[in-house]
Amino acid sequence: MREIVFDTETTGFDPATGDRIVEIGCIELLNRIPTGATFHTYINPERDMPPSAEAVHGLSEEFLADKPLFAEVAEKFLEFIGTDSKLVAHNAGFDMTFIDFELKKCGLVPPTRDRVIDTLTLARRKHPGGGNKLDDLCVRYGIDNSRRTKHGALLDAELLAEVYAELAGGRQANLGLVAAVREEFSVTTVVTFSREVRQASLLTDAEREAHRKFVATLGENAVWLEYLEGEKLPAAE
């Protein structure tokens, strides 16, 4: 199951009144485990940066002046999110309103809303009456958000991926083996779309060794031997 956790930063609250996207960050998940594939870009909004917005994300008009326009990265963004992967965001209605506006402005078709999962809605259902901002959820689940001194699309997407795993039932990475083959390339000097080979398993060497010792006690007809073919088993104790 492929899902994309994403976040945007903007100049304000409403594209209908002239606000624009200034940053997009996306994280690819397979079976809710990050694969290492990401999409990230800063965007020139073609307008000024209100001080109130800059105070949130720290992106100035001067910093964004030489960054690509949304139209220049739109196709790569759509390529990364694919046509059927679920799209996960916190307060997703806000992000999707801007994504829809920007894509339609480029003459492109936005993702359908049935693909969208709103983690804010999930959090409110799971923790009614509790604090459900991203920082609140990081504290609740013991996720280190100390780097989040300001909002940043890619960092927020990384944190949200961990929060989403908890909201969806808890992180059980020891039970998951995900092999993902990816290539790596650069979209522009400021847009990164990276993919790499990664096997997501958090078993320790000690745990693997303990398992091999256990299998060695099961006898020569044990089914587990088929899965450890080629590995040298320790002598049974």
Q: In this structure, are 169 and 234 located in the same domain?
A: no
| Residues 183 and 95 grouped into a single domain | yes
Measure the CA angle with vertex 184, ends 181 and 190; round to 5°. 145
**Same structural domain for residues 25 and 67?**
yes
Average the pLDDT over each of 52-56, 97-101, 189-193, 217-221 and give the range with the smallest value: 189-193
> Which segment of 3-7, 141-145, 180-184 scores lowest on mean pLDDT?
180-184
Q: Same domain for 173 and 218? A: no
**Does pTM top 0.85 for this prediction?**
no
pLDDT for res 199: 40
151 is catalytic: yes
Do 175 and 224 fall into the same domain? Answer: no
Range of the domain at 16: 2-201
One domain for residues 57 and 171? yes
Q: Is 221 found in the same domain as 180?
A: no
- For residue 45, give both structure tokens: 């909004």
| Residue of 40, 127, 151, 211 marked catalytic | 151
pLDDT in tens, 11-70: 999 999 999 999 999 999 999 999 999 999 999 999 999 999 999 999 999 999 999 999
Q: How confident is residue 129, by pLDDT bands cut at 50, 70 and 90?
A: confident
Q: Please tell me the total count of domains within the chain.
A: 2
Instruction: Report d(CA 102, CA 78) in Å as an integer.
Output: 12
Answer yes or no: is pLDDT of 204 > 90. no
Residues 130 and 212 in one domain: no
C-beta separation of 61 from 49 below 8 A: yes
Same structural domain, 196 and 221:
no
Sign (positive or negative) of CA dihedral 45, 50, 52, 58: positive
